[in-house]
Structure 1
């Protein structure tokens, strides 16, 4: 998926994750935590016009990167689900 194409979903069994942080180091730290739970492709980073970094990851939701974490296996959707104000 192209970074500007927010309407096209990823292929089945995959998810696109976008991390926006003030620094590249902060974005990479969050990406590293995600990669402990899911196998994924190489990250792509882009500068944010207002400052900061936007990092994109494509993860494989069908393949664990490391042994499944107990919190991940037992987690339930939040009652506060929905689109954030700045999301489409």
Structure 2
């Protein structure tokens, strides 16, 4: 499987997988309160009726409390790719 191309500097692709569309939308809404974001795109997730939601966030345009968290956080240096990620 091909690795996705990285997005431009300051942007991050976010994938949300939830049991219901409402749960996925709630998480996306919280992200939008902290970061500038594109419109979400949703897809079915598996045969159990789940939802997979994709959006791009712009980390160069952050609001509080995300700014404080970004300023103090550090990368772990570990690759956290899940086995079921696409």
Q: Normalising to structure 1: TM-score of the pair?
A: 0.74
User: What is the alpha-carbon distance in structure 1 between the residues aligned to residue 83 and residue 8 of structure 2?
Assistant: 26
How many residues are treated as equivalent by the alignment? 82
Question: For residue 86 of structure 1, what is the aligned residue in structure 2?
Answer: 84
Gaps of 5+ in 2: none
Match among 41, 45, 69 for residue 71 of structure 1:
69
Q: Normalising to structure 2: TM-score of the pair?
A: 0.76
State how 1:30-45 maps to structure 2 within 5 Å. Answer: 30-45=27-42
Cα RMSD (Å)? 2.2
Gaps of 5+ in 1: none
